[in-house]
Structure 1
Amino acid sequence: MVPVIASEALERAHVQGAEDKSVNWAGAFATCGGRAAVQSSVIVYEIEPGGHLGWHTDATEESQYIIAGTGELRMEDGTQQVRPGSVFVLPANVRHDLANTGHETLRAVAFFAAAMFTQTFDEVMLPPNTHVLGTPNRGG
């Protein structure tokens, strides 16, 4: 039977920039290789008003769906506004950021085209005090 995951019940990890405190969000892996998926990964996450993910690159293609809130997708070649219902695809290794520019929590789902991957942030992320985050199974 295919597992149905109650994403709202998943415990979120709070992540913040070591220096830039506006890098501030919370997220959870709903699936990844070995956890309800074989060839993909899914993250559910939230950004409070005024916060953003932080500039980073992902080692695999990423698709996102905005559930609630409004924001600004920032890329090196410009910005685009996002709102509930927005869908976008980010190629692997393209530097980007997503900021909450609204007055309510921005809620989104990110779908990754790999069962295991890493994200490399410009800013040191706390926890775990590193530039590199990724799927729980990336250590092997």
Structure 2
Amino acid sequence: MKTFAIAVAVLALFASQPAVALEQSASVKVTKLLQSPSSWNGAALAYPSGQAEVTALLVEIAPGGETGWHLHPVPSFGYLLEGELEVSLKDGSVKRVLAGQALAEVVNTLHNGRNVGKGPARLVVFYAGVTGSTLTVKE
């Protein structure tokens, strides 16, 4: 129990420090795209237990196209490279994402992504799962 308390104290100390993955210099420009303890609907993020595995996907949605209702059982975030995307929840909540914006996706919550732009929507999605985990579950 004492070891756990020490670990929590150390994590709390580091949690108050800004996260820096790479120092900026004359030849390296660093731009924070997203840092959030919660998904866009305000739900807290929590990592699954097991052997960590990250997955990155490039997703392309045609104009007027939709992902269909689905959920992600693991934390994920996306970065919209091109286009305009509207993400809806069953409760009527809607999040509009424009090219160049990042989004912490909802976890274990049904949602539908729809391309509301005139051209293709291209986004990179990063999943923080565990080896062998399912990343997307259709309704």
Under TM normalisation by the shorter chain, which class is it? 0.5 to 0.7
Give 1:116 shift.
3.7
Which position in structure 1 is the counterpart of 2:124? Answer: 109
Moved over 6 A (4+): none
Query: Which of the two has greater strand per residue?
Result: 1
Match of 2:105 in 1: 90
Measured against aligned partners, the alpha-carbon deviations of 1:36-79 in whole angstroms (never above 9, x if no partner) come to: xx620111110000101111011201101000001201123411
Partner of 1:73: 87
**Letter of the structure 2 residue corresponding to residue 40 of structure 1:** V
Post-superposition offset of 1:90: 1.9
Whole-angstrom distance in 2 between the partners of 1:63 and 1:116? 19
1:70–1:84: structure 2 CA closer, same or farther, 3 Å change rule?
same
Alignment length (residue pairs): 85
Structure 2, unmatched stretches of 5+, are 1-51
C-alpha separation in 2, matches of 1:104 and 1:73: 17
RMSD: 1.5
- Shift in CA distance, 100/86, structure 1 to aligned 2, threshold 3 Å: same
Q: Name the amino acid aligned to 2:95.
A: Q
TM-score, length-normalised on structure 1? Answer: 0.56
Of Structure 1 and Structure 2, which has the larger fraction of its residues in helix? 2
Residue 107 of structure 1 aligns to which amino acid in structure 2?
R
Contact kept, 8 Å, 1:62 with 1:113, in 2: the verdict is yes
Q: Could you tell me which of 55, 59, 75 is aligned with 1:41? A: 55
Q: Residue in 2 aligned with 1:55?
A: 69
Partner Cα distance (1:83, 1:41) in 2: 23
> 3-state DSSP class of the match of 2:117?
coil
1 CA distance for matches of 2:106 and 2:75? 5
8 Å contact from structure 2 (residues 80, 124) kept in 1: yes
> Sequence identity of aligned pairs in percent?
27
